[in-house]
Structure 1
Amino acid sequence: MNAMTRRERLTATLRGDPVDRPAVSFYEIGGWRPDPDDPDPFNVYNSPDWGPLLQLAEAKTDLIRMCAPERRPALDNCREEFFYSKTYMQDGSRFTRTELTVAGRTMSTLSRRDPDVSTTWTLEPLLKDIDDVKAYLQLPDQVFAEKVSTDAMRAEEEELGEAGIVMVDIGDPVCLAAPLFSLEAYTVFALTEPALFHRLLEQQARALYPLVEDISRQFPGHLWRICGSEYASEPFLPPRLYSEYVVRYTKPVVELIHRYGGFARIHSHGRLKNILPHILAMEPDGLDPIEPPPQGDMRLIDVRRLYGEQMVLFGNIEASELEMLPPRQFERRAIQALREGTMGPGRGFVLMPSACPYGRQISPDVLANYETMIRLVQDGSW
């Protein structure tokens, strides 16, 4: 087979067509577009350590650019009547406090961003008890009303050219609802108050579905990543509730994407064995990141054998393996993933890690491990 462009390879993979070699993605590296020249002290990517890795991703990986549409409040949006946010600096960190006043009740949430870590920590969740939930449910739907524009995504696709594809990145209703709580409060609430949790999911779904259809109509035929599944997977919730909380509310998202010729990829960290039949019920086109044990509970070869003809499999490199394994040991691990991900019949496979480093330092071994992923797929030495 003749060599394919990176766009051709990814498009053929999604369609289940033959490819010249497996695609390789560094996930968020090359997925996001950080600016290493931005001097913002909270931009970890301006560290010199990041330069070679960012350049490697842009030049050599099959780029799956993770994009979201431009969102703005709809004309009837009334969010400012209920929510107030302020951001301030303290001890070198950036804090954001948001207050919600509704139904005679005031709730607040607090988050922190540190300059050397590319993540945001929730220090105080918004919803702390059942009375908070009941008040939150009294928010009018107009609070969540938004309009979207896909102009920036189309521009990104044009700029990418044959280097890759654009992927729309969204959260499903459970992804929008669960972070309103602390993780422990969420699991208890979802287990013990199913009627109220369904109402919360329905509230989020009413806002989400029109947005998904609008984006799909404006930007048809593209790959989507749908986040949220893991919130309802084991060990957090039993599989019976996965069907209740994910399949019921996320399958309509998949159907809207399919209606306009798009491809839906379910993002679900951790255990898969007991929820995979439910995932298949949503008829997605792809699944990531298929983490190996002990983070996951299935080998890639078994996922491929049981479900690989229905879905493109994206994975199965654990982020900690990239960061902790010495290069020779990592090479053996990457070879295993490539062999298991392509063994026997299947729709397609993309070699990909479960996440990326989120600090300022990239060690020589970590860079070497990323380079190994490229070398293996390009020279076929696996």
Structure 2
Amino acid sequence: MNHKERMFAAFRHQPVDRIPFATYNLHPFSAAHRNDPSYAELLDLVWDEAGMLCKTGITRKQTPATRAAKERMEVIREENAEQERVTRILHTPAGDLCSVTVIPAGQPSMVVEHFIKTDEDIRTYMSLPFEPDEFDVNPAAQVDAELEGRGVAYVNYADPMHAAAVLFDFNDFAVRCLTDIGPVLKLIDFFFERVQATLQNQLRTCQEYPFLFYTGGPEICTPPMMAPAMFARLVTPYQKRLIRMIHDAGFLACIHCHGRVRDVIGEVLKTDTDVLEPIEPPDQGDMTLLELFAVAGNQLCLMGHIQDQELHYVEPGTMTRHVEEIARVAAGRTGYVMIPTCTPFQHPAKETFLRNYTEWVEAAVRIPA
């Protein structure tokens, strides 16, 4: 079996000839890594020896609707030596909404004012017209073709709860869900109709290509940010219907969810998703791999459990021990793919990271068939 065949067999709980393993979005199709000389030797090793889970896009086509949507957003940039301030004014049929993002020099951006601050803002946002996007499959199709069995092209679809939540200050969103959930549910329903129509076009565009569809939105609706009951109310019913669409179109689905999943994994199972990643080990996560296998059974493929943070600081030999521990637990099973828990974001990559990532790949290659 090649890496792609092995990964899809695990997704489907079919027999595998060895434990599948893959990099998480570390591959030569990523310009960030391809153009960074510090990753060159590691990318050569990955190409020759590892599977690859490649986040890739099917791009939105330019249509009158997409151009109109772009024209509705006015962007004002103000910059000085300390920071950049970006003000976005969204012109809707019912009035304007404003969001402000501050980008301190050399630091991550932060939204200091969100589009939705009141119930009236919710109604204003919901006045926006909508036509589902049309898509071009070629970027993802090219990645799949060039992989030649080395990995899986990973295509994103939206989550209605997440689409609503990011319009609010998250504290405000969480409190609203506890004290006045009605308007929030109306907004999520509003997004669900749009996500459903958009996903239908994505699936139609991707026919005949062996992609894995994933959504990352549900992870913000997990402890400690949100109570498990909120996952059941704001995620499960919507994802169940979207995943049914994905299955009906002949594809498999995956939910991306960092952190603690013990209290929501039952709800994840109810969505009928095929795969859950990146199943972080304790202490970032709260379930061991053995516990995860016991709950997942033959319904859910588990993907992950190599903690990305450790790649940046652990001593030599640590990654080999982790691989050996995972191999002991996963021996004789299918429904598992070993991957790191995160895309590498360090540029340039430091020697400790490169050494540990190389050790992980080489240890994974040595796992007995």
TM-score by length of 2: 0.89
SS state at 1:107 partner: strand
Rounded to whole Å, the distance in 1 between the matches of 2:191 and 2:63 is 16
Matched residues in 2 for 1:229 and 1:365: separation? Answer: 32
Counterpart pick for 1:316 among 305, 308, 314: 305
C-alpha spacing 1:348/1:181, structure 2 compared with 1 (3 Å): same
Find the aligned partners of 1:265 and 1:122 in 2 and give their Cα distance.
28
Whether the 8 Å contact between 1:100 and 1:107 is mirrored in structure 2 is yes
- Structure 1 residues 58 and 187: CA distance shift in structure 2, 3 A: farther
Partner of 2:282: 293
Work out whether residues 100 and 113 of structure 2, in 8 Å CA contact, stay in contact via their aligned partners in 1. Answer: yes
In the alignment, the residues of structure 1 paired with residue 28 and residue 172 of structure 2 have an alpha-carbon distance, to the nearest angstrom, of 32
Q: Give the C-alpha shift of residue 282 in structure 1.
A: 0.9
Counterpart pick for 2:31 among 29, 34, 47: 34
Query: In structure 2, the residue corresponding to 1:100 is in which secondary structure?
Result: strand
- 2:248 aligned with 1:259, yes or no? yes
1:42 is aligned to: none
Q: Which residue number corresponds to residue 130 of structure 2?
A: 141
Q: Is the 8 A contact 2:26 2:344 kept in 1?
A: no
Secondary structure of 2:23 counterpart: coil
Q: By how many angstroms is 1:72 displaced?
A: 3.1
For the pair 1:358 / 2:345, whether they are aligned, the reply is yes
- Give secondary structure in 2 for the equivalent of 1:30: coil
CA pair 87-9 structure 1, distance change in 2 beyond 3 A: farther
2:148 maps to amino acid = G
Q: 1:57: which partner in 2?
A: 46
In 2, the alpha carbon distance for the partners of 1:18 and 1:113 equals: 50
Cα separation, partners in 2 of 1:293 and 1:105, compared to 1, 3 Å: same
8 A Cα contact 1:175 1:231, kept in partner? yes
Q: 1:40 maps to what in 2?
A: none
Q: How many equivalent residue pairs?
A: 365
Alignment match, 1:203: 190
Work out the CA distance in 1 between the residues paired with 2:166 and 2:150.
35
Contact map agreement 2:90 2:98 (CA 8 A) in 1 = yes
SS at match of 2:149: helix
Matched, 1:107 2:113: no
Separation of aligned partners in 2, 1:210 and 1:226? 16
Q: 1:370 to 1:86 in 2, by over 3 A?
A: same
- SS of 2:326's equivalent? helix
Q: 1:153: Cα distance to partner?
A: 1.8
Alignment of 1:124-163 (within 5 A): 124-142=113-131, 145-163=132-150
* Aligned: 1:375 with 2:368: no
C-alpha contact 1:31 1:63 (8 A) present in aligned 2: no
The letter for the 1-side match of 2:227 is P
* Cα separation, 2, equivalents of 1:121 and 1:56: 36
Query: Aligned match of 2:177 in 190, 197, 215?
Result: 190
Shift of 1:245: 0.6
Q: Is the 8 A contact 1:24 1:373 kept in 2?
A: no
Distance 1:269 1:332, change over 3 A: same
1:12 partnered with 2:31 = no
**8 Å contact from structure 2 (residues 87, 98) kept in 1:** no
Whether 1:84 and 2:81 are equivalent positions in the alignment is no
Letter in 1 for 2:249: Y
Gapped regions of structure 2 (runs ≥ 5) = none
Q: 1:179 aligns with which of 163, 166, 170?
A: 166
Alignment partner of 2:218 out of 225, 229, 233: 229
Preserved CA contact (<8 Å) 2:153 2:211:
yes
Shift of 1:73: 5.1
Between 1:247-256 and 1:221-230, the stretch displaced more is: 221-230
Aligned residue among 25, 42, 46 for 2:22: 25
Is the 1:86–1:97 contact (alpha carbons within 8 Å) kept by the matching residues of 2? yes
Q: Does 1:349 align with 2:349?
A: no
Alignment check: 8 A CA contact 1:98 1:109 kept: yes
Contact 2:274-2:300 within 8 A present in 1 as well = yes
**SS at 1:351 equivalent:** strand
Aligned AA (1:82): R
Deviations 1:203-224 (A, max 9, x none): 2112111221222122135311
Aligned counterpart for 2:153 among listed residues 154, 166, 187: 166
The alignment yields a C-alpha RMSD, in angstroms, of 2.6
Percent identical among aligned pairs is 24
Question: Alpha-carbon deviation of 1:307?
Answer: 0.8
Aligned AA (1:146): D
Question: Out of 323, 326, 346, which is 1:337 matched to?
Answer: 326
Q: Amino acid of the residue matched to residue 284 of structure 1?
A: T
Counterpart-to-counterpart distance in 1, 2:291 and 2:8: 25
Secondary structure of the residue that 2:283 maps to in structure 1? coil
Q: Which amino acid aligns with 1:367?
A: L
